[in-house]
Structure 1
Amino acid sequence: MPAAVCKFHFKPANSLSYPYFPLNLHTELLTVYIPLMNFIYWLLCFVIGLLPACFIFIRDRKKNIPVKWLPALLRFFTCFFTAVLLLAPAFPVQHTEEEKPLLLWLQDNSSSMRGALGKDSANYRKQAEAMRARWQQDYQVVTLGFGGDVGPDSLFRYDQKSTDIAGALQSVTEQYRDQNIGAIILSSDGIYNEGLDPLYAPVATPVPVYSIALGDSTRPRDIAVTRVYANKTVALNTNFEIVADLRIEKLNGLHTAITVQHQGKTISQSPVHVDKDRYTASFRFEAKAAVKGFQRYSIVVPVADGEQNSNNNRMDFFVEVIDEQTKVLLLAAGPHPDLAAIKAALEPLPQYKTELRFGNDLPADLNTYALVVAHNIPALQAGRSPALGNVPVWYILGSQTNLAAFSQAQPLLKVAGSNNTNDVLPLINASFSYFTLPANIREVIAKMPPLQAPYGNYSAGGDGQVLLQQQIGNVATQYPLWLFRAGEQPMAVLCGEGIWRWRLYEFKYFGKHETVDELIRQTVSLLSAKKDTRPFRVFMDKYILSDNEAAYLYAELKNDNGELVNGPDARLSLADSAGKNWNYAFERNGKSYRLNIGLLAPGSYTFKGSTQANGKSYTSEGSFVVTAVPLEALKTNADYELLYKLGRQTGGGFFTYANMGALADSLKNNPTVKPLIHTDKTYIQLINLRWLFFVILLFAAAEWLLRKYWNA
């Protein structure tokens, strides 16, 4: 169909120049018009070639030529193909491609699978690999292992220390959401100890899940301390509460006791009377923090007769006992849910004591506070900024902030604008280095609702660092959303209100507040930290680690002017509670030092950093704790019920190791596990076919040579 000929104008309804036709009428016209135009085009090309051919044939009949029709035929092809090129048509070409269904095989790689498979481990692996090989003809098969995270490596090693089934389902449906996901094959014992309940976890794309249940679902006799709740930090000489959850299976009639132990001594005890086959209960204890530092506590229940798994009868936890408090003043223009969110994030940490005041109701002595959180301060109705002296300040801007007074009160950020607000989404600045961001901050930030930021032009001072930038609509800007400044008077500015929604949304999508709370705590900790005048110090982001996270230590060296330098070498000596020592050398990182020790065995550790500068020796000491929580040992019987419900809920199926071969037939009978046909329509313009030019040239040259040969 020639592109220049076939043109349709779909006129708007308010036009009076042409009659208006409904869309279905235009479609009917197109189905008739396009074949008609094609016919006219080829007829025109044929006529253009036939007319000069007839003229040449009539003229050549009077000449003495052996084959009188041959020059006319060559002239016909020359003119015909020339007309084809000159009219420059575009012919539609349709490409059809079939996309096979994608099968995502999620293989549970946690340590509990060793007990679930036992001696059948090798046979199961052979069957699984044979099934995947047969499926390659009809499906695209991607195999991923999961435990605490998801990845293609280390399949069938069963060495992960935790299991997050919901996280694995969410991760793969998000990663492959743009592909034709047919089904997810979940091969697991159904035991999860991290993340959300798989039955209620939101996924990016609804996909049928086919479960292959492994292990024994029979509940054995078992006593398990399933969870312990206690503050991570408590103040010295104060009482704190400990809550322990206990689960007991098939030991009806048992009389035992649950105890709290500290430094090898029992400090509290409660009797346990089991009155049913599946017994669950929570026990509350009160303990006194009488010793400063990191303290190990244990919840212990004696092993019962016939109990096979004793790993979960004990759970250790650590509490840091501190001998100081940090006062934080929440100063606001008026009541706001942001204040409750900040207070809720700080309440679990007893070293922080918060006080709430409104307007210009300032305390008599601000110097007793380590930090002022100024929410919508300076306020519009106040007209000027309250005198906060040299106390560190965290400003939170909103619709009630007096932007002119704010810009004059501090040097970190200038805002020229009105009190109208924009919906602003957060963008993470990868170069931020004032503190280590939470591990899953990118996943959490991507789910957060916008903050309400004042409308205007933002100009940040040169001595600050931006944590988050503003995205307005779909436009990423250079405007700061959350920025910091260190120095004599540390300062931070959050250019928007509504952080309380972030806590709600994190709980909605992830079932916890940890990441948003950690950002609040890190901000408060950075701004309220007492100035360390030591020329050399070694420190950590956190001093209680789990045995599956790497230990990072940092060091800073200051010269006589108080400037950070890292010219001299810095070393670290690490010792565990058994007296074993390791020696390391710090790496230079910017103007300071950094050391990644890696994973460490559970226990208590002490460290001592050392360096030399200007002929002087400097040292810095400290300690930290690595905890071990045997998540995979808390439950040993497979959860077939969960896997069955997951398959039925998603439109998939449930299979066991014994009948996993029948899974192939179930996939074939599922109407949603089908290939997709992709049709791509393109247009070929003959003017772009270079070889057609040489065909025309060949016909013209052949006619010319014949006439020369025949002398015609």
Structure 2
Amino acid sequence: MQESTIIYIILSGIIALLLALFQYIYKSKSKSNSHKFLAVLRFVTLFAILLLLINPKFEQTTYYNEKPTLVVAIDNSESVRYLNQNNNTNELIERLKANDSLNENFNLEFYTFGKTLAKTDSLSYSDRQSNMALAFDRLSEIYSNSVAPTLLITDGNQTYGNDYEFSTNKYKQAIYPIILGDTTQFIDLKIQQLNVNKYAYLKNRFPIEAILVYSGEGSLSTTFNITSENTVVYSQNINFTATSTSKVINLTLPANRAGVSSYKAEIVPIENEKNKVNNIKNFAVEVIDQKTNVAIVSDILHPDIGALKKSIESNEQRQATLVTPEEFVSNAGDYQLAIVYQPNMKFKQAFDEINRLKINKWVIAGTKTSWNALNALQSNYKQTITNQTEDFLPELNLNYTPFIIENVSFDEFPPLRSEYGETEFNLPIQTICYKTVNGIAIGEPLLATFEINETREALLNGEGIWKWRAQSFLEQKSFEPFDNFIGKMVQYLSSKQRRTRLNVEYESFYNGNEDLKINAQYFNKNYEFDTSGNLNITLKDKETNNSRTLPFVLKNNGYQVDLSGIPAGEYSFTVSVTGENVSQSGELKILDYNVEQQFLNADVAKLERLAASTKGNSFFIDNTSSLVKTLTSDTRFATLQKSSKNVVPLIDWKYLLAVIVLSLTAEWFIRKYNGLI
């Protein structure tokens, strides 16, 4: 409390005392005890009121002990069960929970990780992929400002995401790996990696690259085969030695039949080989007889063009070609979609050719766009020309229905720059993103699509889409979500199919370790998205003829069913709507492949390096006797005594108000009783 406040309090007490004595002692003719008591009550009232006016502040300090957190991150992937370490892991978890010394020195927090991280100690060992890098990213966000040594109970085998050994550079906690497995080495042959394109084109040959690895001593010979429908389509003898333990096989196979073709790559196992699962990899190739050609028409260079080309060609079914307006006019018939980037009057012949051939187009406008020219070259929309530019942030329209938009965080994207002013459309449109300025939605479309005269068109009124692709990678560590969005835009705009009431999105084949989710959209008779539809999928195994029916669930602006976990095989399916004569059928194939079963040992070397780089220690699951002592004796993890200082103003002390009320009430009753009122 400041010295000036103390002086004010003393003065307040003197003033309150003088006023009370003046009223009840000095001016009063009576000097009875009741008058003296009334003087005390008046003093209390006046002093309390003056204290409230001064409102002094008091500091309250409390002390408490803060224990560090012991993070226990447990591998919940199938590889733990495959290495027969699930029972050992369960026993270790129970010992940790019951250990009094650990609970006395730490706050224990249990997490499980596979493809994602979850705060739980319920273990199923059923995750079909493990992404330890993502787990460390999430934990670093949670414990960035606290002491939280981490027990990492895992076999160290990662199947998905960035390499966790380097991702932990940003993780500021000591890591103590509990290694699930041992260092025993077995003779093993395996297909380390198989690289093959997902699509091929009819009458062409598609490349395959196989990386074969041998673990063991001595020399051996084996055979590498690729079969299709029980027919060997490729075979090669392979020789390994103690010094030559890997081989890279490059080959090409013909694509003679349109559709999905399944293959099996196998390195013939040796006698008594412990793990034969990793000797085989199934793969499939979809052979298509045409490719979607997209023209990016521009007479300027801009990063947007490179980003669009990368996104479009991330799907091997599509090809994007950068052409000038003059080059496009010469070969317009070769393209199914024209992306017209920042047009001006030089694009007049290109627009004429697009209209003549009824080619679908996507116009992207920006600071280099001549809106005088664009307003004249087409009649579907008109931009108010202000010769001023503005930055517009996107706001996703959750009611957009022509195709499903998911996993794209538009609210995290940077703004696009374009002409300031209203864009007036002369026909019905479907808005994907609205414009927002300074956090205020202005209700105008930033990105919209529409259909007219059997053609489909889109307008993106802003440049800088390359920043969206970069931000998507920063947020999700992958270009895939953004590239998939651009792919859906291109697929929708390049198609001339008539709109149907039921649209189903699916792949022709899936790897066994992938999430298998099928999306659908259902519209009423007015082609408005119907949220009350009852959609079901009937899945039939072609080999056994067994069928199962599963319901779709409503998700954002579409429906979704999760088929992950169904056995490998070939399936036909029918998506139908209860009570409506609307359905769509198709076929899909699930390849027999489990990436978590490809490992024979724990990755001991990497886990030991991880412990050393983070100043922790590594332990094997069958030798954790010194684990508790190591943790509890480390001075970095000592319990800290902390203080909390709380400044409380007197005006917050409600009892003082009660004192004022009681003293005034008592004074009134005494004066009333003695006839002084």
Give TM-score, length-normalised by structure 2.
0.83
- Asked whether the equivalents of residues 643 and 654 of structure 1 are also in contact (C-alpha less than 8 Å), the reply is yes
Q: Alpha-carbon deviation of 1:685?
A: 1.1
Paired residue for 1:517? 483
Change (3 A) 1:506 1:275: farther
Change (3 A) 1:633 1:562: closer
Q: Alpha-carbon deviation of 1:356?
A: 2.9
Change (3 A) 1:182 1:276: same
Paired residue for 1:42? 9
- Asked whether the equivalents of residues 482 and 495 of structure 1 are also in contact (C-alpha less than 8 Å), the reply is yes
Change (3 A) 1:556 1:447: closer
Paired residue for 1:23? none
Which one of the candidate residues 367, 378, 381 is aligned to 1:399? 367
> Residue type of the partner of 1:647?
A
Change (3 A) 1:696 1:661: farther
Q: Alpha-carbon deviation of 1:517?
A: 2.4
Change (3 A) 1:53 1:375: closer
Cα distance per residue 1:247-295 (max 9 Å; x no partner)? 2211541222222222222212333222336823332110001122111
**Separation of aligned partners in 2, 1:58 and 1:572:** 95
Paired residue for 2:497? 531
**Separation of aligned partners in 2, 1:566 and 1:367:** 40
> Aligned pair 1:183/2:149, yes or no?
yes
**Separation of aligned partners in 2, 1:687 and 1:549:** 59
Q: Alpha-carbon deviation of 1:639?
A: 1.6
Which one of the candidate residues 617, 621, 633 is aligned to 2:597? 633
Q: Alpha-carbon deviation of 1:315?
A: 0.5
> Aligned pair 1:605/2:555, yes or no?
no
- Asked whether the equivalents of residues 385 and 406 of structure 1 are also in contact (C-alpha less than 8 Å), the reply is no
Paired residue for 2:509? 544
Aligned residue for 1:685, secondary structure, equals helix
Q: Alpha-carbon deviation of 1:465?
A: 3.2
For structure 2, the residue ranges without an aligned partner over 5 or more in a row are none
**Separation of aligned partners in 2, 1:625 and 1:76:** 91
Q: Alpha-carbon deviation of 1:662?
A: 2.7
> Aligned pair 1:432/2:419, yes or no?
no
> Aligned pair 1:315/2:281, yes or no?
yes
- Asked whether the equivalents of residues 232 and 349 of structure 1 are also in contact (C-alpha less than 8 Å), the reply is no
Aligned residue for 2:48, secondary structure, equals helix
Q: Alpha-carbon deviation of 1:147?
A: 0.6
Which one of the candidate residues 298, 301, 310 is aligned to 2:264? 298
Cα distance per residue 1:191-212 (max 9 Å; x no partner)? 1110000122278764443322
Cα distance per residue 1:532-590 (max 9 Å; x no partner)? 58x7877433222344523426477997x999999999876532231414264876989
Which one of the candidate residues 91, 95, 117 is aligned to 2:85? 117
Paired residue for 2:588? 624
**Separation of aligned partners in 1, 2:54 and 2:20:** 22
Cα distance per residue 1:334-369 (max 9 Å; x no partner)? 334433443344446554344331134333463442
Paired residue for 2:455? 489
Which one of the candidate residues 34, 44, 47 is aligned to 1:80? 47
Change (3 A) 1:274 1:602: same
Q: Alpha-carbon deviation of 1:322?
A: 1.3
Paired residue for 1:669? 634
**Separation of aligned partners in 1, 2:395 and 2:598:** 39
> Residue type of the partner of 1:317?
F
Change (3 A) 1:571 1:515: closer
> Residue type of the partner of 1:264?
N
Cα distance per residue 1:484-519 (max 9 Å; x no partner)? 335632122333444445555666776653223222
- Asked whether the equivalents of residues 45 and 660 of structure 2 are also in contact (C-alpha less than 8 Å), the reply is no
Aligned residue for 1:342, secondary structure, equals helix
Aligned residue for 1:441, secondary structure, equals coil
Aligned residue for 1:294, secondary structure, equals strand
**Separation of aligned partners in 1, 2:368 and 2:397:** 27
Return 394-403 or 290-299, whichever deviates more. 394-403
Q: Alpha-carbon deviation of 1:302?
A: 0.8
Return 643-652 or 320-329, whichever deviates more. 643-652
Give TM-score, length-normalised by structure 1.
0.80
Cα distance per residue 1:197-229 (max 9 Å; x no partner)? 012227876444332222224332222212222
Which one of the candidate residues 88, 97, 101 is aligned to 1:129? 97
Aligned residue for 1:199, secondary structure, equals helix
Change (3 A) 1:385 1:202: farther
**Separation of aligned partners in 1, 2:124 and 2:404:** 32
Cα distance per residue 1:440-483 (max 9 Å; x no partner)? 434xx6776x3642141354747333334556666666554433
Return 216-225 or 452-461, whichever deviates more. 452-461
Q: Alpha-carbon deviation of 1:162?
A: 1.0
Paired residue for 2:607? 643
> Aligned pair 1:246/2:212, yes or no?
yes
**Separation of aligned partners in 2, 1:68 and 1:182:** 67
Aligned residue for 1:195, secondary structure, equals coil
Paired residue for 1:379? 344
Question: What is the 5 A alignment of 1:119-518?
Answer: 119-131=87-99, 135-136=102-103, 138-152=105-119, 155-174=122-141, 176=142, 180=146, 182-201=148-167, 206-276=172-242, 279-347=245-313, 349-364=315-330, 366-376=332-342, 378-379=343-344, 386-387=351-352, 388-389=354-355, 390-410=358-378, 414-416=382-384, 426-437=394-405, 440-442=407-409, 450=414, 452-459=416-423, 461=425, 463-470=428-435, 478-486=443-451, 488-500=454-466, 503=469, 512-518=478-484
- Asked whether the equivalents of residues 177 and 204 of structure 1 are also in contact (C-alpha less than 8 Å), the reply is no
Change (3 A) 1:349 1:279: same
- Asked whether the equivalents of residues 414 and 459 of structure 1 are also in contact (C-alpha less than 8 Å), the reply is yes
**Separation of aligned partners in 1, 2:393 and 2:317:** 32
- Asked whether the equivalents of residues 408 and 472 of structure 2 are also in contact (C-alpha less than 8 Å), the reply is no
> Residue type of the partner of 2:590?
V
**Separation of aligned partners in 2, 1:42 and 1:694:** 20
> Residue type of the partner of 2:225?
T
Q: How many residues align?
A: 664
**Separation of aligned partners in 2, 1:613 and 1:84:** 76
**Separation of aligned partners in 2, 1:660 and 1:404:** 79
**Separation of aligned partners in 2, 1:502 and 1:172:** 26
For structure 1, the residue ranges without an aligned partner over 5 or more in a row are 1-33
> Residue type of the partner of 2:160?
E
> Residue type of the partner of 1:642?
K
**Separation of aligned partners in 1, 2:201 and 2:636:** 62
Change (3 A) 1:381 1:568: closer
Change (3 A) 1:558 1:119: closer
**Separation of aligned partners in 2, 1:354 and 1:701:** 92
Please report the RMSD computed on the Cα atoms of aligned residues, expressed in angstroms.
Answer: 4.2
- Asked whether the equivalents of residues 166 and 198 of structure 1 are also in contact (C-alpha less than 8 Å), the reply is yes
Return 228-237 or 51-60, whichever deviates more. 51-60
Return 269-278 or 159-168, whichever deviates more. 269-278
Return 599-608 or 273-282, whichever deviates more. 273-282
Percent of residue pairs identical: 21
Q: Alpha-carbon deviation of 1:683?
A: 2.3
Paired residue for 2:667? 700
